[in-house]
Amino acid sequence: MIYPIVKYGDPVLERPAENVTEFDTPELHKLIEDMFESMYAARGVGLAAPQIGISRRIAVIDCSAGENPAEKIVLINPEIIATSGIQTGEEGCLSLPGFRETVSRPNRVTVRAQDVKGEVFEMTGEELLARAFMHETDHLNGTLYISHVSPLKRDLIRRKIRKLAKAGEWA
Ligand code: NI
């Protein structure tokens, strides 16, 4: 099932999501499958559950955008446990369509998470994957990437979105 993507302005995007405590259930498997499907339909490389209106600590990532099944990653209850270096580049978010901003992130990031069965694992990513680990974990903490741009830029984005909303083009 393809869910519509929740857009900036919905409070679900700005509150911390709840921990997942039950694993390997048919419901969890289905939700993860639906998250991948929704992410691919929206042409994203990462999606957090709050972005489909579900406030639970689950994110899916695929930096190959559906080209390589080996790159599919599921993070449940993820925590960033180590970061190093820095990368500066453009970042976007499916919940803020039409916007892309320059954001600095660590270049190498290690995440600790649980898989669909509840097994704890650690994974280290660089460049785009490191950026995705940071971006998606942020989502689960109720933080959007525009928190990492200058207040001036952020205001500009908010103003543009208010205009779009007034015109009925942001829903
Ligand atoms: Ni996002």
Cα(82) to ligand 1 centroid in Å equals 21
Classify residue 55 as exposed, middle or buried by CB count within 10 Å of its CB (0-12, 13-18, 19+). Answer: middle
Query: Helix, strand, or coil here: 49?
Result: helix
Report pLDDT for 168.
Answer: 93
Full pLDDT tens readout for the chain, 171 residues: 999 999 999 999 999 999 999 999 999 999 999 999 999 999 999 999 999 999 999 999 999 999 999 999 999 999 999 999 999 999 999 999 999 999 999 999 999 999 999 999 999 999 999 999 999 999 999 999 999 999 999 999 999 999 999 999 998
List residues, by chain if needed, whose CB lies under 5 Å from ion ligand 1: 93
Q: Which two tokens stand for residue 103?
A: 């954001």
**Residue 45 CA, distance from chain mean position:** 9
Cα(86) to ligand 1 centroid in Å equals 20
Q: What CATH number was assigned to the domain covering residues 11-166?
A: 3.90.45.10
What is the Cα Rg of the chain in Å? 16
Cα(110) to ligand 1 centroid in Å equals 19
